[in-house]
Amino acid sequence: MSFEQDLERLEQIAAALDRADLTLDESLALFEEGIQRLRAASEALSKAEGRVTTLVEQANGAIEERDAG
């Protein structure tokens, strides 16, 4: 699940919960899912630092990421 998908799903969940036209079970299930995704997204944002790499294509066609200086 990508960060983008997590965020999009979170937005859907928040909107659905905000409408309050769900059953209690549905609400609680959505809330639980939302909390999990919120945690995943927050963790992604709190990771130390983005990497800077160089994309290199090798002779055999394999693609490799190398740390950029």
Partner 1 sequence: MSGRRGESPRRGTAPSLFDGAGSAGAPAPARRDAAPGETADTAIGVADLTTLAKEVLEGAFPPLWIRGEVSGFLKHRNGHWYFTLKDASASISCVVWSRDTARIPAAPDDGMQVMAFGQLSVYPARGQMQFMVRAMEAEGEGLWRKALEETRKRLERDGLLDPARKRALPRFPRRVAVITSPDGAALHDIQSVITRRNPTVDIIIVPAAVQGETAPASLVAALNLVARWQAADVVIVGRGGGSREDLWAFNDEGVARAIAACPIPTISAVGHEVDVTIADLVADHRAATPSAAAEAAVPVLDELVAWLGTLGRTMRAGAERRVTLARRDLRRLAGDLSLRARRSVERRRARLQQVAGRVDALSPLNTLARGYAVARGTDGRALGSVEAFAAGQAFALVLRDGQVDATVTRVRPGGPPRAAGAAQ
The amino acid present at 11, given as its one-letter code, is: E
The pair of structure tokens assigned to 50 is 């983005």
User: Counting contacts by CB under 8 A, is residue 51 touching partner 1?
Assistant: yes
We find the least distance from the C-beta atom of residue 59 to partner 1, in angstroms, to be 14
Q: Is 66 left (phi over 0), alpha (psi -120 to 50) or beta?
A: beta
Integer angstrom CA distances of residue 2 from 25, 26, 38: 27, 24, 12
Nearer Cβ to partner 1 (59/63) = 63
Binding site for partner 1 (CB under 8 A): 2-4, 7, 10-11, 13-20, 22, 24, 27-28, 30-31, 34-35, 38, 41-42, 44-47, 49-55, 57, 63, 65, 68
